């Protein structure tokens, strides 16, 4: 009997282990990659403060099975590892190493702008140093000015280059590893007062257009003044108003007004 009891206990123990294994199985969800806001940074007037706890997932009416089918990751992690392992093979093409000194998003946006210009960064730096706008319009100059290195970026790039400058070959390799925007920043680092020079170039490129707009408005105002001064119809109208006003005020005799300020015209409809 004692032997039989031991066997039963063994079976129960086996069942528990199976249940424990089932509990440990985790459902892998597809992730929504967003930038969460730290709770300490949420202000009382914020929408996130107002909606906190407003929705209970348990009370929502939705198809749970459909939800699971849409947002459950059914891919096998082992397959992903195999692909990664295959990518690391020495026979496969090597990916170009990239060093990121500046913010990734800023580097990407700067790279898009620079790709459209299709110019060597050293040539651009030389043009800025000589305040030569060339064929750049105001929009392009403003974009180039936007991607001048900040003090922090200047310091980071300078430290990176110095650490890699043990030889010309090493320095060249280090430069090749930088993104396009970083290479542009390095080229602009040798230009003194680059921001002020960009301001001058922008003023120069916009001057003729701005001057034309101002001159056009001055001409319009000058023509309007000339028409007011020379208009016979306006003179007759003002004379009629003056005469009628004097008649209303004095009956046409006594101390007559010789003229009136133009603000009186606003009171004629009273």
| Residue 254: DSSP 8-state | S
Name the pLDDT band for 169 (thresholds 50, 70, 90): confident
Listed ranges 6-10, 126-130, 229-233; the one with the highest mean pLDDT: 126-130
* 32-46, 48-62, 86-100, 231-245: least confidently modelled range: 86-100
**What is the Rg, in whole angstroms, of the alpha carbon atoms belonging to the chain?**
39
Give per-residue pLDDT as tens, 59-91: 667 677 776 676 666 666 666 566 555 555 454
pLDDT at 33: 53
User: What mean pLDDT comes out for the span 217-236?
Assistant: 88
pLDDT of residue 17: 55
Smallest CA-to-CA distance from 186 within 268, 249, 263, 101 is with 101
Residues of the chain with pLDDT > 70, as a percent, come to 66
pLDDT-above-90 percentage for the chain: 21
Does the structure show a pLDDT above 90 at 129? Answer: yes
pLDDT category at 104 given cuts 50, 70, 90 is confident
* pLDDT computed for residue 120 by the predictor: 92
Kindly state the DSSP code that residue 29 receives in the 8-state scheme: B
Q: What angle do CA 228, 231, 232 make, to 5 degrees?
A: 145
> 148 and 197 in contact (C-beta within 8 Å)?
no
CA 137 to CA 139: how far, in whole Å?
A: 6
pLDDT confidence band for 185 (50 / 70 / 90): very high
Of 116, 150, 146, 145, nearest to 133 by C-alpha is: 145
In this prediction, residue 161 has a pLDDT band, given cuts at 50, 70 and 90, of: confident
Q: Which residue has the higher pLDDT, 245 or 270?
A: 245
d(CA 184, CA 144): 9
Contact assessment for residue 180 and residue 119, using Cβ atoms and an 8 Å cutoff: no
């Amino acid at each position: 009997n004692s032997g039989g009891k031991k066997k039963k206990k063994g079976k129960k123990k086996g069942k528990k282990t199976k249940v424990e294994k089932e509990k440990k199985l985790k459902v892998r969800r597809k992730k929504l990659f967003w930038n969460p806001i730290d709770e300490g940074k949420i202000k009382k007037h914020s929408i996130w403060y107002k909606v906190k706890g407003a929705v209970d997932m348990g009370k929502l009416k939705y198809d749970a099975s459909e939800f699971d089918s849409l947002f459950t990751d059914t891919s096998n992690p082992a397959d992903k590892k195999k692909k990664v392992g295959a990518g690391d093979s020495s026979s496969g093409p090597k990916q170009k190493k990239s060093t990121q000194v500046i913010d990734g998003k800023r580097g990407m946006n700067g790279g898009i702008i620079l790709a459209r210009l299709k110019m060597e960064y050293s040539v651009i730096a030389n043009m800025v140093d000589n305040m030569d706008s060339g064929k750049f319009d105001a929009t392009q100059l403003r974009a180039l000015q936007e991607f001048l290195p900040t003090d922090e970026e200047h310091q980071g790039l300078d430290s990176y280059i110095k650490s890699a400058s043990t030889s010309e070959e090493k320095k060249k390799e280090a430069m090749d590893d930088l993104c396009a925007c970083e290479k542009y920043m390095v080229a602009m680092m040798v230009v003194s007062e680059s921001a002020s020079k960009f301001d001058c170039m922008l003023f120069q490129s916009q001057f003729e257009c701005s001057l034309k707009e101002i001159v056009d408005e001055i001409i319009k105002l000058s023509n309007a003044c000339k028409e007011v001064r020379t208009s016979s119809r306006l003179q007759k109208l003002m004379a009629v108003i003056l005469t009628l006003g004097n008649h209303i005020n004095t009956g046409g005799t006594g101390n007559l007004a010789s003229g009136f300020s133009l603000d009186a015209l606003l009171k004629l409809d009273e």
